[in-house]
Amino acid sequence: MPPDGLSGHAFVFTIGRGNDVEVAALEALRGHLLGRDVEQLLGDMGATWRLLAHDSQLRWLGPEKGVMHMAIGAVLNALWDLKAKRAGLPLWQLLSTLSPEELVDLVDFRYLSDAITPEEALELFRSAESGRAERIETLLASGYPAYTTTPGWLGYSDEKLDRLCREAVADGFPQIKLKVGASLDDDVRRLRIARAAVGEGYPIAVDANQRWDVAAAIEWVNALAEFEPAWIEEPTSPDDVLGHAAIARGVAPIRVATGEHVQNRVVFKQLLQAGGMQVMQIDATRVGGVNENIANLLLAAKFGVPVCPHAGGVGLCEAVQHLSMFDYVALSGTMEGRMIEYVDHLHEHFVTPVVIERGRYVTPTAPGAGTEMLAASVEEYAWQGVHAGEVAL
């Protein structure tokens, strides 16, 4: 623990079995960090990324994907949490104090230069430099738009679906999302109920959670076109760039959204190059931490695609809001067509849980990255003595 008594926290997880695999991956990174000078690690976070992500031995387990890459992301995120706490700023604001040059230095442009160069990135940050202060004021005054997935889980009764849709609109959310793909008849019925509940013109996104092959996705989504989905999310394998592009062509003008399982910036790059993704859904815990998500935000800005992060509760909302808010202040400069997912799930275990008001994320002002869990929650739910997924530096 550094002399100021502050500590950095982050998390990474699975949805059940396999958290112990992540813990082993975190352990494998220990040797890169123990005994290092914290000032040095935090002082050049671009170098810290390279220290972790460019280990040629650990790259054999990826490179830059899955278990090992998620662990690297968690360690970087914990360091960002510490850096923000030491600065006395929420992460979004800390990032917004950095110069365009400092921001570009955080990003690994390896394998990106056919889509964006450091020079182009610098230009993007520079062109958003004026107006940062005003946008910070706007953020602090009125927050960032959220949409809710709460009404749309499969298995709810039609009555519950109807009620939750109406509540979402009444609560001020500008969009809802429904899960689809189990049964076309059910999807048609549920979308009819939802559309009636929210009214014409209100955006309803749909999410297939990787269920389909290409032809099936095109057929199914077109069968739902009368309900005018705001986007179709994860229609197929997150690895299938060309599949996403074929689906996007086949379901236009309905947009394709994806990203929660996209493994790294190289796949995001291709989804944009191929026209396979009209909405980018970054996740705070899938890729190589804050550093790689800045690369992803840059790619989105370069290609003019809005970023609507994945945040299905469990701390993801707390973490990813900082990235969207940073993007608004220092990169895209707009909230137009952007919103952050919101699910009311397990916020109570975090030290600084998100606050939603009238369908918007209230801009956090507490120092840190939002990723610290309550000590009591960690204690209570730790399994076999392992603080699964938590990195404490």
Residue numbers annotated as active site: 179, 310
CB of 107 to its own copies, least distance (A): 14
CB of 261 to its own copies, least distance (A): 7
23, 52, 91, 325: which one binds its own copies (CB under 8 A): 23
- Binding mask 255-274 toward its own copies (x if CB under 8 A, else -) reads ------x-xx-xx-xx--xx
214 binds its own copies (CB under 8 A): yes
118 binds its own copies (CB under 8 A): no
33, 61, 98, 188: which one binds its own copies (CB under 8 A): 61
Please, which of residues 136-195 interact with its own copies by CB under 8 A? none
- Binding mask 95-114 toward its own copies (x if CB under 8 A, else -) reads ---------------xxxxx
- Does 63 sit behind a cis peptide bond, omega within 30 degrees of 0 on the bond before it? yes
Stretch that binds its own copies, among 36-44, 50-58, 151-159, 300-308 (CB under 8 A): 50-58
CB of 25 to its own copies, least distance (A): 5
385 binds its own copies (CB under 8 A): no
Please, which of residues 318-347 interact with its own copies by CB under 8 A? none
238 binds its own copies (CB under 8 A): yes
Q: Where are the alpha helices (DSSP H) in the chain?
A: 19-33, 38-43, 45-53, 56-59, 66-87, 91-97, 100-105, 118-127, 132-142, 158-170, 184-198, 214-223, 241-251, 265-273, 289-303, 316-330, 375-381
Classify each residue of 235-248 as buried b or exposed e, where b means 16 or more C-beta atoms within 10 Å of its C-beta: bbebebbebbbbbb
Q: Which residue, among 165, 260, 256, 269, has the nearest Cα to 217 in the 3D structure?
A: 256
Size of the site for its own copies (CB under 8 A): 58
69 binds its own copies (CB under 8 A): yes
Stretch that binds its own copies, among 54-62, 137-145, 331-339, 359-367 (CB under 8 A): 54-62
**Residue 208 to residues 52, 72, 217, 244, 371: CA-CA distances in angstroms?**
34, 28, 9, 13, 28
Give the dihedral sign, CA 283/285/290/292. negative
Q: Report how many helices (DSSP H) and strands (DSSP E) the chain contains, helices first.
A: 17, 11
Stretch that binds its own copies, among 23-31, 81-89, 304-312, 343-351 (CB under 8 A): 23-31
Instruction: Tell me which amino acid residue 294 is.
Output: I
Q: Which residue has tokens 């899960």?
A: 179
Please, which of residues 274-293 interact with its own copies by CB under 8 A? 274
CB of 384 to its own copies, least distance (A): 12
Q: What is the rounded CA–CA span in Å between residue 184 and residue 18?
A: 32
Q: What is the rounded CA–CA span in Å between residue 14 and residue 11?
A: 10
Instruction: Name the DSSP class of 179.
Output: E
- Chain centroid to CA 113: 23
CB of 114 to its own copies, least distance (A): 4
Beta strands 390-392 and 9-11: pairing type?
antiparallel
Stretch that binds its own copies, among 195-203, 231-239, 328-336, 347-355 (CB under 8 A): 231-239
Query: Could you list the residues that contact its own copies (CB under 8 A)?
Result: 13-18, 20-25, 27-28, 31, 55-58, 60-70, 110-114, 210, 213-216, 236-243, 246, 261, 263-264, 266-267, 269-270, 273-274
